[in-house]
Amino acid sequence: MTLLFRGRCDSAIQTSVVTEGWLRSIFPLGLAFTQPGIPGLLTVIIVQGPLITCMGVFNPINATARLQRTHAGKAARVLTV
């Protein structure tokens, strides 16, 4: 992960991206325990809540880090991808 941020982003951003990215990949494993009926519905709600929160934190921080690493002349290209 040290190659992802080349000194332009501080360690708090890197820690946040790594943590939220890791959590974002772990929470869907809870869907393997889905059962039919109300318990399954509650399992999906409990798993999807933190997953959406992690994505809501990860995506803006990741986009900011990408823009900080990009040259000013290519920022429009990064924003459209």
Residue ranges of the domains in the chain? 11-80
How many other C-beta atoms are found inside a 10 Å radius of the C-beta of residue 25?
11
How would you label 49-67 residue by residue, b for 16+ Cβ within 10 Å and e otherwise?
Answer: eebeebeebbeebbeebee
Residue 2 predicted with pLDDT over 50: no
pLDDT for 3 equals 44
Residue 38 predicted with pLDDT over 60: yes
* Mean of all residue pLDDT scores within the chain: 79
pLDDT for 19 equals 81
